[in-house]
Chain A
Amino acid sequence: MEATALGIVIKAIIILAIISAIAGFGTYLERKVLAFMQRRLGPMHVGPYGLLQILADGIKLFTKEDIIPQNANRLIFGIAPAITAATAFIALAGVPVFPDFTIPEFIPLLGGTFVPSVAADINIGILFVLGMMAAGLYGPLLAGMAQANKWGIIGAARTAIQFLSYEVVTGLSILAPIMIVGSLSLVDFNNYSSDHAWLMFTQPVAFVLFLIAGFAETNRTPFDLLEHEAEVVSGYATEYSGMRWGMFFIGEYANMITISILAAVVFMGGYNDLFFLPGWLAVLLKISFVFFFMLWVRAAWPHVRPDQLMWLCWKVLMPIAVINVVVTGIVMMV
């Protein structure tokens, strides 16, 4: 079946609507999971089991006063959150989430429309996704620099070094799988794992490195130095309030989902049917696990110091990644 414009629009809407909703829902999940791991209940009062907490938070964020500091660069201050949110969603355009499907005929108007697995199955999909995510660094960077706040500046500086450094590790760690699959299209990655073993078993080092770098890219504990409360108040987001801050938030959770999907698609077999599980359910479970793992890590581990972060990146992870690429190449040649 050919991908039609309507199908792609539907896919885009699905991505935007569902993922942004899920990003909000992610905060609920995070609070719940963290609470359970500390033997608390977490949000309980808005809706059953606190399910509507996100709604309440949303109302709160939308109705809060939008504060722009006196000496801030108003334009950049306003654009920065949009960059974060936009890049996060643009990145999702190149990520296949579900298997292809056709909308059943009995649904009026849209019936019979083919919805592709990926909104834009471009042949450099993985580069596109990583690139967009890397471009997302402008969000925190500009936000921190525009707000005329010393914590913001520190947060911005940390953004620059952390994102740029770990971009290297992400790229190098995923290079070995690319070499094995021989394509940059994520659909090809998925197809590859339908008749091969999952890449996380054939490329465990690359998988671990990718996950570590993913934590850093998404600014998650133990690498949440950009906005670490104990050190820099709220880092680049210090002066943000209301929905602007909410956009950072959505961006962060969208990125988390992107990384989860990438990990699931690239290393964990994608949306192929798994045993008795249909593909879409399998991929959902995989994504959920990676997402859960991110929360789990936050509950379990302390964060590192900035110098440790750099040391880890350049002296440990990058060499290992390079070695991994070289070893993979040698093995492939042999």
Chain B
Amino acid sequence: MGLEQFKNRNVGTQNYRLLDLGETPKTGFGQFKQVAKRTFKGELFVGLWVTLREMINALFRGEMHTVKYPFEKLPISPRYRAIHDMLRLLESGHYRCIGCGLCEKICISNCIAMETRYDENQRKEVSEYTINFGRCIFCGYCAEVCPELAIVHGPRYENASEQRAGFSLFEDMLTPIDKLNLQQEYDGFGAVTPYADENIKKTPLAY
């Protein structure tokens, strides 16, 4: 793209409509006429009526817009990126995280830290996992890179606290074991695409 095209490019479709504002009066008398016209035309009362109407709607027809936020909450999009959730396997209840460290690596604000160890069952165990929410920018890369859909962004967006840099530990984010049945499969950032199966070449198991 040349510079000229770049300058003259149209962003979107122009869809403007000119309002008929009439002539701007040039003379004093013209202005007076305009004032008189507008005054007696009742435009002012239209404004008064509109506000009064909304008040009546709000008070008597239940069209109040206000959401009493801490007591009432609006549903949020599944793609919303709030405080992370650590999911569990639905069958066994074991946490999904395998400790691969990809989230730690991809994190652009460098706020994820984890410790892993060799456990008694010869598995890699995540012994500690924290996200520094004072630094997290909620970009969602961790959820996207996670090969196990273990770390996802949950709907918990109220993260105000006295100590912003406070750590959030693995246990805080993990689905409580007694609420396993309530655990939602994540369909937001980094979730499996609807056609994922079609794009995978399967390993032959012909034996």
Contacts and interface: CB of A to CB of B under 8 A. Distances in A.
Interface of A: 33, 35-41, 44, 296-297, 299-301, 312, 315-316
B64 A300 contact: no
A296 B44 CA distance: 12
Contacts of A300: 44, 47-48, 50-51
A37 B41 CA distance: 23
Given A41-B64, A44-B68, A296-B51, A36 B59 contact: yes
B90 interface: no
A40 B68 contact: no
A316 B32 contact: yes
Contacts of B44: 300-301
B52 interface: yes
A39 B63 contact: yes
A301 B47 contact: yes
Interface string B32-47: 1001000000001001
Contacts of A36: 54-55, 58-59
Given A37-B55, A39-B66, A41-B64, 20 more contacts: A33-B55, A36-B59, A37-B52, A38-B65, A39-B54, A39-B55, A39-B64, A40-B58, A40-B65, A41-B66, A296-B48, A296-B51, A296-B52, A300-B44, A300-B50, A300-B51, A301-B47, A301-B48, A315-B28, A316-B35
A299 B28 CA distance: 30
B70 to A, nearest CB: 10
B39 to A, nearest CB: 9
A315 B35 CA distance: 11
Nearest to B63: A39
Given A44-B68, A315-B28, A38 B54 contact: yes
A39 B58 contact: yes
Nearest to A295: B51
B127 interface: no
A39 B32 contact: no
Nearest to A311: B31
A301 B38 CA distance: 14
Given A300-B47, A301-B44, A301-B47, A37 B68 contact: no
A320 to B, nearest CB: 10
Contacts of A299: 51
A220 B144 CA distance: 55
A36 B62 CA distance: 11
A72 B63 CA distance: 49
Contacts of B55: 33, 36-37, 39
Nearest to A293: B48
Contacts of A39: 54-55, 57-58, 63-66
Nearest to B28: A315
B64 A40 contact: yes
B50 A40 contact: no
Contacts of A41: 64, 66, 68
A44 B57 CA distance: 19
Nearest to A42: B66
Interface in B1-60: 28, 32, 35, 44, 47-48, 50-52, 54-55, 57-59
